[in-house]
Amino acid sequence: MLHQTPPKRLVIFIAALFALIGQSHANADSGKYQKVLQSVAWVITSNAENETSTGTGVLVDAEKKLLLTNSHVVGDSRKAVVFFPDSPGGKLAVRRKHYLKNILKLGIQGTVIAVDRRRDLALIELPKVPESVTAIKLAAESTTPGTKVDLVGNPGDSDILWVYTSGTVRSVYQKKFKSTHGEHDFMAVETQSPIKPGDSGGPIVDENGELVALAQSFSPQSTLVSFCVDVTEIRQMLESPWKSAPLPTRVLLDEAGIEYTRHESGHYQIDQAIGNDVRQAVFVAKHTEYHGRADVRRIWSTVQSSETAPEETLLMRLMRQNSATKIGSWAVEKNSDGYIVFFVAKLDATASDDALESTIDYVARLAGAMQKDLKPETSEASAEATLAAWLEMK
């Protein structure tokens, strides 16, 4: 077939047409970015160890002043500092130092009022919302593979905020997995787009700028594969009764006025009085344990440590007592040094100060009674034999 070179004018026309189409898409993306940006926030939290972490959030309810983010972004924090985009002189400020320098003017102190670790979602209630900020519109239904999506986030490896990232939906499916933040099970939107630490909690929007998912994590095998929480999960959380977020252990103990010391393990030790000049060491776990919507706080006290396994008579006795205890149970654990017998209670992590104090007292008294019972009484004869043996030692 004879190839004919197209006329020069036609070539110029086609090039101009493609340029115009490209410019049209660019303008559309820019307009969508500006629209979504009005709902996005930079979130800073601090845990009980005063370790600071940052992430992203999106305003989902302007009337109730609710900001949505991931539960792993807030962690055990119950307070958060939130920044919305600032445009001094009509130009968007993108550097972090601008917001930190003007924290008194731009920073908003929010309160974490709800967490859903199964879905990895959390809600932050704000005392106010700037006039320039608007709540994002939630999509009516899940997105589909092949859909073009965009993210506005705050990647932690950059000094720049409000970063725009585009991608494509790979799949939508139920995802169940474990992480250091608990067990997760939610409808996931898998995208082909890079999500970095700090982007977590950022809005994933469709071509209409509507929220179709929330950025959650990225694949350890491929940085271009990311996982997001589907909008149906977000709607269900917003429409269902919220679960109160438990306080960090240190904050709870401080608010309850309970004196403690920090054990070398990181757990909190309380020397609880159980009688005249008698105290029993009780420990409260530094971290809250999670299972689904259940948040529990572990409280325990050790009564015996030995290199050999407990005798059968002691084990049977502990089993009988387990059926009679009101809170908690006896347990035996084996570690590198031998065997430990202890009493442990698991308290609802959102329980009141009084409930915490009562549980600590109950654990201390029960463990103290068992410890006294297991300790052999020293007779005069055995004391004399011990003294004689010591005197014979060289």
Q: Which has the closest alpha carbon to 171: 144, 141, 204?
A: 144
pLDDT at 301: 94
pTM over 0.85: no
The DSSP output letter for 29 is H
The structure tokens 């017998």 sit at 341
Block means of pLDDT (10 residues each) for the chain, 394 residues, are 52 49 54 93 84 93 96 89 96 96 96 90 96 96 96 91 95 89 88 91 96 92 89 94 79 91 92 89 88 82 89 89 86 88 90 90 91 66 48 41
Q: Are strands 338-348 and 294-306 parallel, antiparallel or unpaired?
A: antiparallel
Residues 6+ apart with CB under 8 A from 97: 159
pLDDT at 18: 46
CATH topology of domain 249-374: Yope Regulator; Chain: A, (3.30.1460)
Assigned token pair, 179? 């992480």
In this predicted model, what pLDDT tens digit does every residue of 235-262 receive, in sequence order?
999 998 877 777 888 888 998 999 999 9
Q: How many CB atoms lie within 10 A of CB 258?
A: 17
pLDDT at 277: 84
The reply to whether 34-239 and 249-374 are identical in fold is no
pLDDT at 9: 60
pLDDT at 378: 46
In this predicted model, what pLDDT tens digit does every residue of 43-52 receive, in sequence order?
999 876 677 8
C-alpha span between 377 and 380 (Å, rounded): 10
The structure tokens 């047409």 sit at 17
CATH topology of domain 34-239: Thrombin, subunit H (2.40.10)
C-alpha span between 386 and 106 (Å, rounded): 72
Domain residue extents for the chain = 34-239, 249-374
265 to each of 74, 261, 268, how far by Cα in Å?
A: 23, 11, 9
